[in-house]
Amino acid sequence: MAKILIIDDDDDFRAATSAILESAGHMVLIAHDGKAGLEMVKAEDPDLIVLDIMMDSIYEGFSVITTLRATPEYMDFRDIPVLMCSAVKQITGERFDIPAEARIAQGDDFLDKPFTSEALFNKVNKLLQA
């Protein structure tokens, strides 16, 4: 059983994703925005983070992962795997284009919303085993 933190501003997404992960035996923690998510990282030290890219601002998820990976305050947590999620492809037909020099803002894996429970299980299991 892993401790998984979901950072997303969408109530429905959090509820559905929590139910899927809990059905697999994982403990799920919830944060409604990036600031709360970063506070929860320090308080709970999760095994995995499921992070939405677009929350209060279009780039909030990128800000969260950059803070997590590049700020001395989070040095003990920077190796937590991060599964980035976004509905931008469904909306625009394209994913965010992250330049190679901005690798620090990339997660360890990516999942387009909406996704199936099987796709979520596959990504989560892969990241937890890495």
Residues 95 and 97: their CA atoms lie apart, in Å, by: 6
Mean pLDDT for the chain? 88
pLDDT over threshold 50, residue 92: no
> For the whole model, what pTM was predicted?
0.89
**Which CA distances in Å does 45 have to 10, 74, 79?**
22, 10, 11
User: Domain segments of the chain: what residues?
Assistant: 3-129
Contact indicator for 65, 52 with CB cutoff of 8 Å: no
- Bigger pLDDT: 68 or 96? 68
pLDDT band at 86 (very low <50, low <70, confident <90, very high): confident
- 91: helix, strand or coil: helix
pLDDT over threshold 70, residue 91: no
CATH assignment, 3-129:
3.40.50.2300
Per-residue pLDDT averaged across 17-29, rounded?
97
Which tens digits make up the pLDDT trace of 48-85? 999 998 888 778 988 999 999 999 999 999 999 999 99
